[in-house]
Structure 1
Amino acid sequence: MTTNKLITFKSIAFFIVIISLVLSCGKQVSTISEANPWKKMDLIVKSIPETHFSDKTYNINDFGAIADGKTLNTAAFAKAIKACTENGGGKVMVPNGKYLTGAIHLESNVNLHLDDQAEILFSTNPKDYPIVHTSWEGTELMNYSPLIYAKNKTNVAITGKGTLNGQADSTNWWIWSGGKSYGWQKGIPSQNDPTNREVLVDMAEKNVPVAERIFGEGRYLRPNFIEFFECNTVLVKDITVINAPFWILHPLKSNNIIIDGVTVNSHGPNNDGCDPEYSQNIIVKNCTFNTGDDCIAIKAGRDADGRRVAIPSKNIIVQNCKMIDGHGGVVIGSEISAGVNNVFVENCVMDSPNLDRAIRIKTNSKRGGVIEDVYVRNLEIGTVKECVLKLNMFYNVYGSQTGNFIPVIRNISLENINVKNGGKYSVRAEGYAESPVENITLKNVVIKKVDSIYLLKNVKNINFINTYINDKKVESSKNF
């Protein structure tokens, strides 16, 4: 045998061995994940890189900022951030005091840090927010800049124990929602006018290029508060956020995000606390959410736009958080068309007469999407209004929401859950005959008080293991 033939033979043999090992490892990881998905969560946590910044500080006061709560400091923030990033990065310091500003646009390697008594007051004048590429309720567009915005940035942070105050109320941003409880009256323009939200959704359905979906002035679609768009390696730590115009923490098409110790207290319309969308490898931990909408709502695009982008949200971890008021504690949907998988929720407290549900998945046949592998454990739930677990394939809030994209919901597990008052149902789940909700497990769940054990329609393989509802052990396994 010649040397060349020997080398070729050895190369082929080596390649076969490598392929065998890869297949073997893949099978082993799959088996481990199925046997104990929480080990998979641990691997995800270990894989997420942390931010690191140069030991340099750029005080916004040195760039002309005035802490009187009245002077517009947009230019001072921009100058400080530019100097920071151009000199290798570091900390942009916001000292104690009140600083009024328009949009803040972050750059790579910049840590926007607030002193304990620092408060950034965001202008309520829409003209202070330039038009940028962003997203609104799961549909991409050109709209008002988020109050804090970073696009295509790496290694970026917002830290410190100061406060971000959107200053939204029923005299400005909230009135655009069209809700009478937020100041709207007949004759006042809002997002619900036919030329606004409906036009955007129609553009997406017709696949109009995003660059041509120009909104902003006269269209009344409120800006997000903090948006990381196509960013990687992000930290948001310890800040308090109040009075948001719209969605509050919005990682969009982003990876490797840590949100730690943040307090959100904002009861306006659509004031979701945290909305990861088309995003992966997200940790939300040690946070408190007291909101006018969902505390955490995992998104993946709306209808045709979600299917166009086709990036699922996955590997999302919620740990040691407190949920007070809100439509739901941890929610998936309704903007969900690209799908969601690998969601882990553990060691959280949820309790308020104004908290509607603990865990909720909402979609419909216009949204579609595959939602699977959602694992929840170690929750202490005081009071929820409607139910502990709600899985709904018929979510309908804006007129007709039916189409040809039948959703999939499967593999939902709740373990070690204690509930004092579960509201109307312990579990409410509704699927399609051709696409039932599949594989629900409640293990070591105790619900002390609830009106009805469950309301189930087209549910396949629901398992109750050592589960007690209203002091009675529930039958172990059923199809509905």
Structure 2
Amino acid sequence: MNIKNNALLFLLLFTSFSMFAKDYKASLFGINSDGKTLNTTSIQFAINHINANGGGRLVFNVGRYLTGTINLKSNVTLHFDEGAILLGSTNPFDYEKTSASWCYALVVAYDQENIGITGKGILDGQGVEVARNVVENIEKGLTKDSYKYGRPSEGNRPMLVYFKRCKDIKIIDITYKNSASWNQTYDLCKNLTIDGITVDNTTYWNQDGIDIVDCDNVSITNSYIDAADDGICLKSHDANSFCNNIFISNNKIRTSANGIKFGTASKGGFRNVKIVNNIVFDTYRSAIALESVDGGFLENIEIDSLKVYNTGNLIYLTTGERIKGKKSTLKNIKISNVYAEIPATKPDAGYGFEGPIEDQPRNISPAIIIKGLPESIISDVVFKNFVIKHAGGGNAKFANVPLNQIESIPELPAQYPEFSMFKELPAWGAYIRHASGIQFSNIKMQTDKNDFRVPVVLDDVQKSKFSDLKINGKFKNQDVFQNKSTENQVK
């Protein structure tokens, strides 16, 4: 794959475009920087004017610019100098939703090209205030909403950015904070560069950091993401589309959910993704979650040089059947050069919106879970050069699953996938079920405390190879339990 080279080429093209495009100061259009005047109309006029006159940058100098929904147009970049803040209105009725979108957002774009949001400034959605006002409108009967779990649905809480069917997009250096819902979503877009941004999205529920939906040729690099929900999330909403040629590198990610996740929405699929040199820390669920559960495919994924500190689970691979009759596939995955620490305590403890408390008491889950289905096995997955430090300390008095009762672990094909969905599992290191062609080599696993569970459990695993495994300083064949598993090599 030449994803990295393509990303650099697009960045160069975008930089060249910016050099020759005209700059327009926001003040030229009477856009007020007092943080109180609603500027929606004047900002939209400025965008339309720049678009009609050959394109350029709308430059916001130091100040606070209050606005509702604005529509970004082709050949226009919103540029925010350091100290410039675009404030989302706290009135939910200042946001627009069109027939092309399922959600509200502060900055939207549909079917546009050569667009961007750049600079050292900030987009602040004032999400908590907006969400509270949405709740008030629901209670007044002004807004219809399912209102589950004591909060409005994502579709009625505005994101910061929603772009659909756009191409040649640059999101550079900007800080996005305090969305009322997902932070930013790029849907069916092509040639997207995200570089050097900061995401601070921790003040409400469902606050993903970055959502990439059925996009082609995407680069996410050199960014810092702190999110109350999934950090970088690839989704596939369209059965006829898929995420393709994605490059994710040199990012630091902390979340109350999953660090880098594929799914849960996975109707089309994911192909040709490279994830290199990333750090995931203080993350409640999985550092990496690859989930193919809606009838799509997930294949040709390479993950290299991953560092994980203080996370509930290292890697979770799963297939499911949330849509009855729609079989999913997951294959051709390579994961190498990984260091991980799995703690005894809750990894996101102390954050305002922690992940939900799981059923207790329960033992710490295995670091690696590979869970297919009998008719949707996971195949051809390579793990190489791992160091895993697990807290251990499993207590047999908890919900112990004896190895001779392993069939009692449920399949749960239609359930929303999370690594903890199976509750108690009989391994602390790796639990693998319904898989073929799994390769583990040069894997070091150790526990801080003794654990009654075996390190590795295989259930219905075929044609797999496990070599150079070092578990608590030594490895013996009897430390791997094989049930209904055949043609596997353990050295």
TM-score, L = length of structure 2: 0.74
SS in 1 for 2:266: coil
Does 1:80 pair with 2:46? yes
CA-to-partner distance for each residue in 1:153-207, whole Å, 9 max, x for gaps? 11111000111000011x53268699xxxxx99x99774359xx9xxxxxxxxxx
1:312 aligns with: 242
- Cα distance, 1:269 vs. partner? 1.5
Within the candidate set 213, 229, 232, 1:293 is matched to 229
Q: How does 1:51-130 map to 2 (within 5 A)?
A: 51=14, 52-53=17-18, 54-130=20-96
CA-to-partner distance for each residue in 1:449-468, whole Å, 9 max, x for gaps? 25411122212122111111
2:198 aligns with: 263
CA distance in 2, matches of 1:262, 1:327: 20
Does 1:172 pair with 2:130? yes
1:406 aligns with: 327
Does 1:359 pair with 2:295? no
In the alignment, is the contact (CA less than 8 A) between 1:273 and 1:296 conserved in 2?
Answer: yes
SS in 2 for 1:88: coil
Indicate how the Cα distance of structure 1 residues 115 and 42 shifts in structure 2: closer, same or farther if over 3 A, else same.
closer
Within the candidate set 221, 230, 236, 2:171 is matched to 236
1:380 aligns with: 307
The structure whose residues are more often strand, as a share, is 2
CA-to-partner distance for each residue in 1:376-398, whole Å, 9 max, x for gaps? 1111111111x111012248xxx
TM-score, L = length of structure 1: 0.76
1:201 aligns with: none
CA distance in 2, matches of 1:251, 1:446: 35
Indicate how the Cα distance of structure 1 residues 253 and 389 shifts in structure 2: closer, same or farther if over 3 A, else same.
same
Residue correspondences, number: 394
Does 1:461 pair with 2:437? yes
SS in 2 for 1:434: coil
SS in 1 for 2:47: helix
The structure whose residues are more often helix, as a share, is 1
1:250 aligns with: 185
- Cα distance, 1:402 vs. partner? 4.9
- Cα distance, 1:219 vs. partner? 10
In the alignment, is the contact (CA less than 8 A) between 2:145 and 2:153 conserved in 1?
Answer: no
Indicate how the Cα distance of structure 1 residues 42 and 263 shifts in structure 2: closer, same or farther if over 3 A, else same.
closer
Uncovered stretches (5+) of structure 2, i.e. residues with no partner: 344-363, 393-427, 448-468, 487-491
| Equivalent position amino acid for 2:174 in 1 | I
1:280 aligns with: 216
CA distance in 1, matches of 2:260, 2:300: 14
- Cα distance, 1:218 vs. partner? 11
- Cα distance, 1:131 vs. partner? 2.6
In the alignment, is the contact (CA less than 8 A) between 1:177 and 1:190 conserved in 2?
Answer: no
CA-to-partner distance for each residue in 1:331-374, whole Å, 9 max, x for gaps? 0001110111111111111111x43211102343xx21101111
Uncovered stretches (5+) of structure 1, i.e. residues with no partner: 1-38, 137-142, 179-183, 198-216, 396-400
CA-to-partner distance for each residue in 1:88-137, whole Å, 9 max, x for gaps? 1111011101111011211111110001001111012222122313444x
SS in 1 for 2:98: strand
Q: How does 1:322-361 map to 2 (within 5 A)?
A: 322-352=252-282, 354-361=283-290
SS in 2 for 1:80: helix
CA distance in 1, matches of 2:430, 2:228: 27
In the alignment, is the contact (CA less than 8 A) between 1:60 and 1:76 conserved in 2?
Answer: no
CA-to-partner distance for each residue in 1:261-305, whole Å, 9 max, x for gaps? 11011122211111111111000001111001100110110xxxx
Within the candidate set 380, 390, 393, 2:316 is matched to 390
CA-to-partner distance for each residue in 1:3-32, whole Å, 9 max, x for gaps? xxxxxxxxxxxxxxxxxxxxxxxxxxxxxx
Quote the RMSD (CA, aligned, Å): 3.0
CA-to-partner distance for each residue in 1:287-325, whole Å, 9 max, x for gaps? 111001100110110xxxx22xx1111111101000012
In the alignment, is the contact (CA less than 8 A) between 1:190 and 1:220 conserved in 2?
Answer: no
